[in-house]
Structure 1
Amino acid sequence: MFFTSFLILFAVLSVSFCDDGHEMEEFLKREYSLSKPYQSIGVSGSSHWELMGDAVVTTDHVRLTSDQQSKQGAVWSRMPCHLNDWELQVHFKIHGQGKKNLNGDGLAVWYTKERMQNGPVFGNRDFFTGLGVFVDTYPNEEKLLEAQKKRYTPRTERIFPYVLAMVANGTISYDHDRDGRPTELGGCNAMVRNRKHDTFIFIRYVRRRLTVMIDIDGQHEWRDCLDIPGVRLPQGFYFGASAITGDLSDNHDLISMKLYQLTVLRSKQEEEQEEEILIPSVDNTDFYRPYTDVESVGSVGIFFTVLFSMLGLFLLVVVGLVVYSHWNENRRKRFY
């Protein structure tokens, strides 16, 4: 009996595991977490969380948007987070009357410098500073190219809904028409709409490594979505969640956001080399590749090739005429 009680106590007080060979412990940080009962949310000064836009609180969830057109809402932490390493578990639900590809637009989880600002990026501002993890439920790029009647071969096949991550420094725009492809760090397909069981997103930031996993199948198993090293996120940013609808709509419900502080064992040398991060960035800048349409690039290339060829031919003709005129003049001089 004593031994069993000891095991239970040990499991409750300390959850330890290994990541890249380093032992970690996790501790729930209630001041940065949102869960039932949602007491006094949005009431000034009496809660750690604040509502914005069309978001409303019920007994079961925070509804960021209802299944109606042109809605946007958000919930933001009032307290900046000053943790080196952390893990965020997000319990959410997206559901509505719309059929496949006739619903939208999606939900986002944020860790950003800015807070409480409406905008086009899933209900938040564009040119944000920090991290955004998006659950995109509508394929804007596919519909855009169909409308333009362009042939298109995607770099990677996407099935929507699609989860992706983006890190921005305040000067990078989210390309809504291209579903964020130009600045996507990575992503995965995630069939999260109208599920009868719980759906979760898991975001971990440890030792400048960003990991996103999902649990959407009701099996209580995390599935890898993306794993990116060299991600630099400053301390002192705010956690939040937002959603938006347009001509198409869905209910976007946030059930909980639970933040865990991760205590990572570091050597003295690692601690000495640790530098303060001021601007969000990713070491591998290839992630920020400009998006180009293959067909348009080919057309532009052909245009300039023909143009320069014609200019070259014209220049060659001019030089030839000058040389011929000079040779003909010298030839006439020899006859006098």
Structure 2
Amino acid sequence: MFQYFFLYFFQIVSAQEQSDTPNVASYEIREHSLVKPYPAVFSTGSSYWHLTGNTIVTDRWIRLTADTQSKQGGLWNLLPVTYPDWEMHVHFKVHGTGKELFGDGLVIWYVRDPKHLGPVFGYQDYFHGLGIVLDTYSNHNGPHNHAHPYISAMVNNGTLHYDHDRDGTHTQIAGCESAFRGRDTDTLIAIRYKDDKLTVSTDVDGRNVWRECFSAEGVRLPTHYYFGFSAATGELTDSHDIISVHTYQLDSSNERKLEDRQAIVPFGLTSEAERLHVDDPKSVSWTALKIFFYVLLFLIISVGLAIGGYFYMNSRRYHKSRFY
């Protein structure tokens, strides 16, 4: 009993400490929040959080992937979000041994179908809902005008494909560069959804100073979707850690409270036109390797023909010298 009282007190103190963050709501929703040592995850039989894939939990962090190849993991809340306006603050850390090459990234989800594994940073493609993509893939694909790490938002009604070969650029509604990887300071992101406006802010310097990353108007999201987190590594790797989550219910107008928002189809206007398809780097590397072997084979054949021609000419000279 004392333990739960202490954890409740800790959450209240944590909420007060975050009063300087942007537009903090009137109260925190404990069922959609996480604090160390994560009793909501460890509780046997009464946990409302679910782990998928390679996720591991300690009393200091929840690691979606370790810094090893071909891993994916997820952390999913099992209680639907019944309020239309909300704000989430996530304390996270992306780090690894890679200095120039690393990846792939993590996503903060608000989706209809939780707990699935898949190709989009550890979650399924053609999803329903919102994904805030924190893409660290340093060997980025195709031409675009931004560097990595990069934060973007994608809203999907189940018909859109997240194209890794194009970094999801043609399906994003907004995005910004953010140097959140490999920081010694605390890295935090705030996601605010209020009156059909999505705003994403960051504090990657650990100074409790928030900077707006991007905002997008006219974003339609239903209620009764689920919060979640997922991450993945491929040939490039990183550790992706969730340290704390604080979710707040925001005040809503009476009109929004009375609206049947559960029936809303997710909608968000994409910000960029589709760009040309670029093959995955693995395919490009294999093509370069084939070209190398073809050139090597050509050189071997050319040298062989030259040597054969040399001996052939010498042989003719030898035979001619015997008849004169």
TM superposition score category, shorter chain reference: 0.7 to 0.9
Q: Which runs of 5+ in 1 are unaligned?
A: 1-8, 146-151, 295-336
- Matched with 1:91 is 91
Amino acid at match of 1:247: E
For the pair 1:26 / 2:12, whether they are aligned, the reply is no
SS, match of residue 164 in structure 2: coil
| Identical positions, percent | 45
Query: Which shows bigger deviation, 132-141 or 106-115?
Result: 132-141
Q: Deviations over 1:206-264 (max 9, x none)?
A: 00110001110122111111111110000000000010000110110000111100113
Structure 1 residue 272 displacement after superposition = 9.3
Structure 1 residue 140 displacement after superposition = 5.0
Does the 8 Å CA contact 2:172/2:270 hold for their aligned counterparts? Answer: no
- Structure 1 residues 250, 116: closer, same or farther in 2, change over 3 A? same
Measured in 2, the distance between the counterparts of 1:199 and 1:213 equals: 11
SS, match of residue 156 in structure 2: strand
Measured in 2, the distance between the counterparts of 1:217 and 1:161 equals: 15
Matches within 5 A, 1:48-67: 48-67=48-67
Does the 8 Å CA contact 1:49/1:78 hold for their aligned counterparts? Answer: yes
SS, match of residue 251 in structure 2: strand
For the pair 1:228 / 2:211, whether they are aligned, the reply is no
SS, match of residue 31 in structure 2: helix
- Alignment root-mean-square deviation, CA: 2.6
- Matched with 1:315 is none
- Matched with 2:267 is 281
Structure 1 residue 16 displacement after superposition = 11
Structure 1 residue 159 displacement after superposition = 1.6
Structure 1 residue 194 displacement after superposition = 1.4
Amino acid at match of 2:71: K
- Structure 1 residues 249, 30: closer, same or farther in 2, change over 3 A? same
Amino acid at match of 1:221: V
- Matched with 2:124 is 125
From 269, 273, 276, the equivalent of 1:292 is 276
- Matched with 2:250 is 262
Matches within 5 A, 1:143-154: 145=142, 152=143, 154=144
- Structure 1 residues 30, 188: closer, same or farther in 2, change over 3 A? same
Measured in 1, the distance between the counterparts of 2:182 and 2:172 equals: 26
For the pair 1:105 / 2:89, whether they are aligned, the reply is no
- Structure 1 residues 42, 131: closer, same or farther in 2, change over 3 A? farther
- Matched with 1:307 is none
Does the 8 Å CA contact 1:42/1:50 hold for their aligned counterparts? Answer: no
Structure 1 residue 190 displacement after superposition = 1.0
SS, match of residue 41 in structure 1: helix
For the pair 1:213 / 2:201, whether they are aligned, the reply is yes
Q: How many pairs does the alignment contain? A: 262
Matches within 5 A, 1:118-197: 118-139=117-138, 141-142=140-141, 145=142, 152=143, 154=144, 157-197=145-185
Q: Deviations over 1:144-183 (max 9, x none)?
A: x4xxxxxx5x3xx212111111000011111111111011
SS, match of residue 232 in structure 1: coil
Amino acid at match of 2:120: V
Does the 8 Å CA contact 1:33/1:257 hold for their aligned counterparts? Answer: yes
Measured in 1, the distance between the counterparts of 2:99 and 2:176 equals: 21
Amino acid at match of 1:257: V
Q: Which runs of 5+ in 2 are unaligned?
A: 1-12, 279-324
Measured in 2, the distance between the counterparts of 1:18 and 1:74 equals: 27
Amino acid at match of 1:69: Q
- Structure 1 residues 293, 176: closer, same or farther in 2, change over 3 A? closer
Q: Deviations over 1:72-127 (max 9, x none)?
A: 01110011111111000011001110012x11100110000011111111110010
